[in-house]
Amino acid sequence: MNENTISLEENITATERGSEGPAPAFGAPSVFTVRGLGVHYGGLPALRDVSLDVQPREITAIIGPSGCGKSTLIRCFNRMNDLIPGAEVSGEVLYHGEDIYAAGVDPVTVRRRIGMVFQRPNPFPKSVYDNVAFGARINGYKGDMDELVERSLRRAALWDEVKSKLRKSALALSGGQQQRLCIARAIAVEPDVILMDEPASALDPIATVRIEDLMQELKQEYSIVIVTHNMQQAARVSDRTAFLYTEVDEAAGQRWGILVEFGDTSDIFTRPRDKRTEDYVSGRFG
């Protein structure tokens, strides 16, 4: 897929970029390098001081109790928080070494590289075909659209189920099919990363398993970040896990999310370093 030579901002030279981010941990450059990330909504803190790395062709899970800022965090990776009035992001989110919040970076460019799948399946009220072709069309795709649609649907493990109803409304599909359609729609723009914000929480167990299998397939080609409040799901599918937790300032009446622990999924679930992580993964709260 994409090498780390992609440039979101033409005017940053390689040397300048090299001096910006910390050196990646394991030789292979990180897809995302997050340092000291914080988010405020209308002046109130929602997320504070998050630092983690997302590695290529891995599934990184973000877990934690409700309201701990999981969705806020994942929406920082493709600047979806820009769409929320009053949202302010501080700290650094480096994508292949480039700060996606730098002044010269257009969020539209960021989102074409970094796809997203949402909690509730949200196909457009258009045909199955038009849903998948949407991203390519707005990007002025000149290639064979039929081929692209078929390839994307195949990669999303949906082709066999919808090939006879490509011209039918996507709203007629089942919830699980709609969600896989949304995944097909996201991969049709050939992104580098796919962000999934609780992609299976609105689905039944069988549809959930299909999405999880699909994620394992997609991992071969894409880097995936998934938010989930289902710990078993995180343990099943992910390579690395970030555990977020809520901190409360009783005096100020404020609460915000912090990153408690980040590491290999097996470590987080079997040898957590932090007491709060241990309590959470062992089901003592949340």
Partner 1 sequence: MSAPAPKDPGRLQGRRPSPRRVWGDRLGTLAMLVATVLVLLPVGMILFQIAQKGLGTMSWEFLTQAMPYSYRKIGGGFFNALVGTAIMVGLATAVAVPLGVLAAIYLTEYGKKNLLATLIRFFSDVMTGVPSIFVGLFVYTAFVLPFGFGAVMGAAALAIIMLPIVVRSTEEMLKLVPRELKDASYALGAGTWQTTVRVVLPSALPGITTGVLLAVARAAGETAPLILTTLGAIEIVTKLVGAPISALPLAIFDGARSPFAAGQERAWAGALELLLIVLVFTLLARVAASRSRISR
Binding interface with partner 1 (CB under 8 A): 78, 80, 83, 85, 108-109, 111-112, 115-116, 118, 120, 122-126, 134-135, 137-139, 168-169, 171-172, 182, 185-186, 189
**By C-beta, is 128 or 231 nearer to partner 1?**
128
Strand duo 32-41 + 87-95: pairing: antiparallel
Helix/strand/coil for 83: helix
**By C-beta, is 80 or 207 nearer to partner 1?**
80
Q: How far is the CB of 187 from partner 1 (least distance, A)?
A: 11
Q: How far is the CB of 171 from partner 1 (least distance, A)?
A: 6
Query: Closest by alpha carbon to 191, among 136, 140, 150?
Result: 136
**By C-beta, is 94 or 189 nearer to partner 1?**
189
**By C-beta, is 44 or 138 nearer to partner 1?**
138
* DSSP letter assigned to residue 24: P
Q: How far is the CB of 125 from partner 1 (least distance, A)?
A: 5
Q: How far is the CB of 235 from partner 1 (least distance, A)?
A: 27
Q: How far is the CB of 43 from partner 1 (least distance, A)?
A: 16
> Is residue 149 within 8 Å of residue 156, measured between CB atoms?
no
Q: What is the DSSP string of 219-270?
A: TTT-EEEEE-S-HHHHHHH-SEEEEEEEEEETTTTEEEEEEEEEEEHHHHHH
Instruction: Count other C-beta atoms under 10 Å from residue 22's C-beta.
Output: 12
**By C-beta, is 183 or 242 nearer to partner 1?**
183
* DSSP letter assigned to residue 169: B
